[in-house]
């Protein structure tokens, strides 16, 4: 089986979770996601996540734990999620996004999440409350 993994980051800082609004492609634009992208050949999921968050948002992060679960995006493409701690930088939408928001756990539903991201967001908020 040749499945590509898309790794998404539940990036947190000071008790809040980072949400990113996609600007592309048209069918996803305007919806909110946990930022990330495809794992490239030869990369670990954690390496891919650190690279994607650096490229897309200009931040340095440390992946912490895999969020249990796996969500099929389309045949051959599956979504995984990790919690990640913000180490350095202020996130800016450099690529693929046009708006960012830091959400406290009680604001989890304040944005229009992509449906496939919702289970990981719920679990990330649960974890965030324990930190």
Minimum CB distance to ligand 523 smaller for 105 or for 119: 119
Minimum CB distance to ligand 523 smaller for 40 or for 90: 40
Minimum CB distance to ligand 523 smaller for 82 or for 96: 96
With helix as H, strand as E and coil as C, how does 10-76 read? EEEECCEEEEEEECCCCCCCCCEECCEEECCCCCCHHHHHHHHHHHHHCCEEEEEEEEEEEEEEECC
Q: How far apart are CA 15 and CA 74, in angstroms?
A: 32
Minimum CB distance to ligand 523 smaller for 88 or for 115: 115
Q: How far is the CB of 55 from ligand 523 (least distance, A)?
A: 8
Q: Which residues pair with 7 in a beta bridge?
A: 37, 80
Here's the x/- map for ligand 523, 14-53, by CB under 6 A: it reads as --------------x----xxxxxx---------------
Region binding ligand 523 by CB under 6 A among candidate stretches 84-92, 102-110, 113-121, 122-130: 113-121
Instruction: Please answer whether residues 7 and 45 qualify as being in contact, where contact means their C-beta atoms are separated by less than 8 angstroms.
Output: yes
Options 117, 121, 124, 125; binder of ligand 523; rule CB under 6 A: 117
Q: How far apart are CA 108 and CA 24, in angstroms?
A: 22
Question: Interface with ligand 523 includes 57 (CB under 6 A)?
Answer: no
Question: How many Cα atoms within 13 Å fall on the side-chain side of residue 87?
Answer: 9
Here's the x/- map for ligand 523, 92-111, by CB under 6 A: it reads as ----x---------------
């Amino acid at each position: 089986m040749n499945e590509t993994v898309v790794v998404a980051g539940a990036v947190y800082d000071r008790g809040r979770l980072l949400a990113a609004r996609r600007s592309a492609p048209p069918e996803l634009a305007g919806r909110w996601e946990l930022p990330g992208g495809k794992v490239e050949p030869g990369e670990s999921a954690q390496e891919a996540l650190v690279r994607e968050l650096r490229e897309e948002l200009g931040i340095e992060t440390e992946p912490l734990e895999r969020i249990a679960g796996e969500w099929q995006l389309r045949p051959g493409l599956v979504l995984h999620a990790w919690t990640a701690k913000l180490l350095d930088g202020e996130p800016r939408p450099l690529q693929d996004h046009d708006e960012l928001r830091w959400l406290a756990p009680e604001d989890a539903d304040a944005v229009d999440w992509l449906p496939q991201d919702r289970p990981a967001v719920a679990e990330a908020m649960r974890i965030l409350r324990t930190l």
